[in-house]
Structure 1
Amino acid sequence: MKKSKPNKSALNEKEGIPQPEFISDLVVKNIKGYRKIQPSSDELINGILKGNISDLSRAITLVESTNPEHLAKANEIIGACLSNANKSIRIGITGVPGVGKSTFIEAFGKHLTSLGKKVAVLAVDPSSTISHGSILGDKTRMEELVKDKNAYIRPSASGETLGGVARKTRETIILCEAAGFDTIIIETVGVGQSETAVHSMVDFFLLLKISGAGDELQGIKRGIMEMADAIVINKADGDNIKKAKLAKTEFNRALHLFPAKKSGWMPIVSTCSSYTKDGIDAVWKTISNYLELTKSNSYFQEKRKEQNQYWMMETINEQLKNHFYNHPEIIDLLEKKKKAVQNDELSPFAAALELLSTYYK
């Protein structure tokens, strides 16, 4: 009888290291003290520019922090890294939950690193609206890519941000580019038709689909389909190959109903298997052809400029919102107005106007 080989998947529980009978309180104190030591902005900037992953991760944590004390330090780091940014290709990858985004990105990322690319994956996990927590399990699901020395995976929680991205994804892109990553992949939460914010921060927008999910009907819907620069039918392996080819034909028909893109590019529909790796190289060839076209007709540069302007306006909106809710008078008055609205003593519109009038005084 053959012995079954042990499963090496990171998803399996592994035997841990036995704890010693006693732990020195002094050692614990020293370790905690070391973890509390925060490097200066200059130290983090120098580390990022040298490609130090630990410094990059620490800087991203500062950028993502909601602590007002971290804001100035984060802005200083981003400002210093800006001149070393904008040297990468930014690829957004989206699709409904279960389409196989993480598996695809691992196969695609490994293909890119085999070509000598340095790949940063910014994976956005959905946050619970009840507990506000997030699993952040993308590193576990990309266990081969995470071990690649030319790849970096950073999971982030979406928080209250809509549009499939995290609150500070745009700034994180800048830091990763400054650290020397020439290909940035943004994996979105996969919320479907409302997932559009990622389109405003990437050069190429890839939509993953699976066969047998209302292909042609979904294909003629506006919104996210209209934004896609390429549609890839994933899981085209085994008995599913025929269905995937049929879905490809249906999507190609649907795409002809959309108006021409400003870029002059006609979206490509292809099939691939993240399991067998078939079609993965064709996806990169499609992206390369798109980049060649858009750089030659100047659309690439113009789109980057428009995106920078868009994110300036988004930052203004975010800062105004934060300033409003952190205003001392608003904090006290807001709770009173909430109770008045709940008790039908005041309409929501009148309450909002009173709060805004107080803020603008």
Structure 2
Amino acid sequence: MAHYEEHHRETFADSALVVNHGIEQPPVVNPKFHRRQRAQYTVDEFVDGILSRNMAILSQAITMVESSREEHQLIAQQIIERCLPYTRNSIRIGITGVPGAGKSTFIEAIGTKVTALGHRLAVLAIDPSSERSKGSILGDKTRMETLVHNPDAFIRPSPSAGSLGGVARKTRESVVLCEAAGYDVIFIETVGVGQSETAVHSMVDLFLLLQISGAGDELQGIKRGIMEMADLIAITKADGANLQKAELAKAQISNALTLFPMPASGWKPRVYTTSSTEGAGLMELWLGIEDFLKHTKVNGYFYSNRARQSKWWMYETVNASLRDSFYNSPVIEPLLAHYEEQILGEEISSFVAANRLLETYFGSR
């Protein structure tokens, strides 16, 4: 059979059995293509670009702030110091909520109304990072399709990178840059980690909690923690068949709040019902935000709170730097695995191991 096919191919050149030699396939990537290097700005160019409200340069400056490279951190610190005189002219609002509360949809809806009132809005959206891969999707922009094209809005997603409290470690520095760029309303959207919101509460003027109806009865609202931090609470998705449930949740949470002591701000937290799809209740909520700001500025809490936050972040920055210096120390790194094995083998207690590591670290400096 094989001999017949060979004879047929030699006799009939146009036979389907003839295998033609192919041509060399072109490369997948154009060999003449050269990746264009992003321009590296100087500190002066960064500062000038931020003050002139160049969103591209602002984004690159925030990237420098978030970078872990030492040379980037040196540049970032100079940018922040130069921008500080142009800050403190905004209101900072922290927004959190249980999963499914519709934080991104809510921010887009109320953000559109805020910019329509003449404000410039910056949204710092914190995306959860994977404990395994350490990566983040950073997909908040995809759920803010209208706001992302708004010329008066700036949206910046950042990874939490394992930071406690649902905010990135460099979020506060990013707030400084956004204020210098002329954004007078800053939204900080957290990952919604429940009752570990101390970090974001320590960098905002007002803490807004988003809730959904049916997430728990009145006793759920009495739980200490995140409920005590909230200045305003919004029951989202209050539309259609869910409207009655949202009103019931509002009444239950309002009753629960009466059991809480008066906060240091002297402000009694309010509860609202909102619908991001229909726009219901959003302006009422914004008026509540303005009432809170007026109230706290009159009694002085607004300014004393910001001073206290600045002091808190000074210590937090020192703690973070010491922690990084400890774990990256060439003296400590080889000892960590050794003490881990001893702890797992129950040869030593974790308390003794920690003290020996600290003694070694401070003794080497």
Of 31, 37, 41, the residue aligned with 1:25 is 31
The Cα RMSD (Å) is 1.4
- How far does the alpha carbon of each residue in 1:242-297 deviate from its partner, in whole angstroms, 9 at most, with x for none? 11111111111111100012212111111010010010101110000111111111
For 1:16, the equivalent position in structure 2 comes to none
For 2:236, the equivalent position in structure 1 comes to 234
For 1:17, the equivalent position in structure 2 comes to none
Of 139, 142, 147, the residue aligned with 1:140 is 142
- How far does the alpha carbon of each residue in 1:289-329 deviate from its partner, in whole angstroms, 9 at most, with x for none? 11111111111011000000000010010011011112121
For 2:6, the equivalent position in structure 1 comes to none
The 1:24–1:357 alpha-carbon spacing in structure 2 relative to 1, beyond 3 Å, is: same
Q: Give the deviation of 1:21 after TM superposition.
A: 8.6
Structure 1: which 4+ aligned runs deviate by more than 6 Å? none
Q: Give the deviation of 1:228 after TM superposition.
A: 0.6
Aligned residues: 338
For 1:302, the equivalent position in structure 2 comes to 304
The 1:328–1:80 alpha-carbon spacing in structure 2 relative to 1, beyond 3 Å, is: same
Is structure 2 residue 220 aligned with structure 1 residue 214?
no
Q: Which amino acid aligns with 1:209?
A: Q
Q: Which amino acid aligns with 2:344?
A: Q
For 2:82, the equivalent position in structure 1 comes to 80
Q: Which amino acid aligns with 1:74?
A: A
What is the CA–CA distance in structure 1 between the aligned matches of 2:149 and 2:62, rounded to whole Å? 20
Q: Which amino acid aligns with 1:211?
A: S
- How far does the alpha carbon of each residue in 1:126-173 deviate from its partner, in whole angstroms, 9 at most, with x for none? 111111111110000001000000000000111110111111111110
For 1:287, the equivalent position in structure 2 comes to 289
The 3-state SS of whatever aligns with 1:201 is: coil
For 1:100, the equivalent position in structure 2 comes to 102
For 1:4, the equivalent position in structure 2 comes to none
Of 182, 185, 189, the residue aligned with 2:184 is 182
Equivalent residues in 2 for 1:48-63 (5 A)? 48-63=50-65
The 3-state SS of whatever aligns with 2:74 is: helix
Q: Give the deviation of 1:69 after TM superposition.
A: 2.1
Of 118, 136, 141, the residue aligned with 1:116 is 118
For 1:264, the equivalent position in structure 2 comes to 266
What is the CA–CA distance in structure 2 between the aligned matches of 1:144 and 1:119, rounded to whole Å? 13
The 3-state SS of whatever aligns with 1:329 is: coil
For 1:332, the equivalent position in structure 2 comes to 334
For 1:224, the equivalent position in structure 2 comes to 226
For 2:205, the equivalent position in structure 1 comes to 203
Q: Give the deviation of 1:23 after TM superposition.
A: 5.4
For 1:15, the equivalent position in structure 2 comes to none
Instruction: Please tell me whether Structure 1 or Structure 2 has the larger radius of gyration of its CA atoms.
Output: 2
Structure 1 unaligned regions, length at least 5: 1-19
What is the CA–CA distance in structure 1 between the aligned matches of 2:321 and 2:73, rounded to whole Å? 11
Stretch of structure 1 that moved more, 343-352 or 315-324: 343-352
The 3-state SS of whatever aligns with 2:331 is: helix
Q: Which amino acid aligns with 1:77?
A: I
What is the CA–CA distance in structure 2 between the aligned matches of 1:215 and 1:138, rounded to whole Å? 30
Q: Which amino acid aligns with 2:178?
A: C
What is the CA–CA distance in structure 2 between the aligned matches of 1:54 and 1:170, rounded to whole Å? 19
For 1:13, the equivalent position in structure 2 comes to none
Equivalent residues in 2 for 1:141-180 (5 A)? 141-180=143-182
What is the CA–CA distance in structure 2 between the aligned matches of 1:265 and 1:257, rounded to whole Å? 14
For 1:315, the equivalent position in structure 2 comes to 317
- How far does the alpha carbon of each residue in 1:320-344 deviate from its partner, in whole angstroms, 9 at most, with x for none? 1011112121122223222333333
Q: Which amino acid aligns with 2:291?
A: N
